[in-house]
């Protein structure tokens, strides 16, 4: 069932600092850390529906929910930056709700499971629900081990509503501590772009593509930044001295002979 191979799995998990209880859960989490749409889709596909309700595979099911939450957040972020992104925003909301439906029974049945706590923390963090996240993060850190996904949840919550310059500082600090969690790098590129720092955004995208050459989202944004500027629509201007029509769209009535105008 493992499809990306032990080398990639070891590299990805080494970058995240997470040890998973079974290989399937580890592969799903490794794909989630890559952050590109194709990897997130593959992560979800690795856990078919029968396994999601099997207690033995609860870690894999929780990691699947986490990957789906990341996919929804990435789609929402990309759609919000697009002039015609309404459909994408609706699709992102639907995907998040599907992930939440999968996560709810896991939280009820296994509230203390580290994988479940991690997915719940990411859900709360991406939603900006800082107060609720605090207790979950404390519980997840009870073992005292560093947890880059809990840190990701916290930084995701904190940057909601912040100015792009503040977002950049917070994300850059997080990436410096946890370079293996690639979704944060795409957000950093957008934060730099929002400040008008095109070259810095391109540098961030290049670093992301060096870590994951398959990241289609980064490829698309880079191509957009390097492409020609959109053509400007020139609106014709009437020459000076030409009066505008008093009643646009109406033709003057024909005046019959012997009459000077309308009665």
Portion of the chain with pLDDT greater than 90, in percent: 70
- Whether the per-residue pLDDT at 107 is higher than 90: the answer is yes
**Residue 212 is part of which domain span?**
5-226
In a domain, 235, yes or no: no
What is the pLDDT averaged over residues 122-129? 96
- 93's CB contacts (< 8 A; 6+ apart) are 72, 76
Give the pLDDT band (50/70/90) at residue 89.
very high
The verdict on residue 67 lying in a domain is: yes
Cα–Cα distance, 11 to 66 (Å, whole number): 19
Residue 138 lies in a domain: yes
Query: Is 218 in contact with 208 (CB distance < 8 Å)?
Result: yes
255 has a pLDDT exceeding 50: yes
* 217 belongs to a structural domain: yes
Whether 256 maps to a domain, the answer reads: no
The per-residue pLDDT for range 20-57, each reduced to its tens digit, is 668 999 999 999 999 999 999 999 999 999 999 999 99
Provide mean pLDDT across the span 138-165.
91
Residue 237 lies in a domain: no
Contact 16, 29 (CB under 8 A): yes
Give me the pLDDT at residue 142, please. 87
pLDDT in tens, 198-232: 999 999 999 999 999 999 999 999 999 998 765 56
Q: Is residue 247 part of a domain?
A: no
Rounded to 5 degrees, φ, ψ at 99 are -65, -40
Please state the domain count of the chain.
1
Is residue 238 included in any domain, yes or no? Answer: no
This prediction's pTM: 0.79
Query: In this predicted structure, what is the pLDDT of residue 181?
Result: 95
Q: What is the CATH number of the domain that holds 30?
A: 1.25.40
Q: Report the alpha-carbon distance of residue 78 to residue 76 in Å, rounded.
A: 6
**Ramachandran sector of residue 258 (left: φ over 0; alpha: ψ -120 to 50; beta: rest):** left
| pLDDT for res 18 | 56
């Amino acid at each position: 069932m493992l499809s990306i191979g032990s080398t990639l799995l070891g590299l990805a998990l080494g970058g995240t600092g997470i040890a998973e209880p079974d290989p399937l859960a580890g592969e799903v989490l490794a794909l989630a850390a890559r952050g590109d749409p194709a990897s997130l889709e593959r992560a979800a596909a690795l856990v078919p529906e029968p396994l999601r309700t099997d207690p033995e595979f609860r870690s894999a099911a929780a990691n699947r929910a986490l990957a789906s939450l990341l996919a929804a957040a990435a789609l929402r972020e990309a759609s919000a930056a697009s002039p015609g992104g309404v459909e994408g925003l609706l699709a992102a909301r639907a995907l998040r709700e599907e992930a939440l439906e999968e996560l709810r029974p896991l939280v009820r049945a296994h509230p203390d499971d580290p994988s479940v706590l991690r997915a719940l923390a990411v859900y709360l963090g991406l939603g900006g629900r800082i107060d609720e996240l605090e207790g979950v993060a404390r519980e997840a850190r009870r073992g005292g081990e560093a947890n880059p996904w809990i840190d990701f949840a916290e930084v995701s919550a904190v940057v909601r509503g912040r100015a792009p310059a503040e977002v950049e500082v917070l994300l850059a600090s997080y990436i410096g501590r946890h370079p293996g969690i690639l979704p944060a790098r795409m957000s950093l590129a957008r934060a730099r772009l929002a400040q008008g720092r095109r070259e810095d955004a391109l540098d961030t995208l290049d670093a992301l593509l060096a870590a994951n050459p398959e990241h289609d989202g980064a490829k698309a944004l880079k191509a957009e930044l390097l492409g020609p500027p959109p053509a400007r629509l020139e609106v014709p201007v009437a020459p000076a001295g030409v009066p505008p029509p008093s009643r646009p769209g109406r033709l003057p009535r024909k005046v019959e002979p012997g009459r000077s105008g309308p009665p």
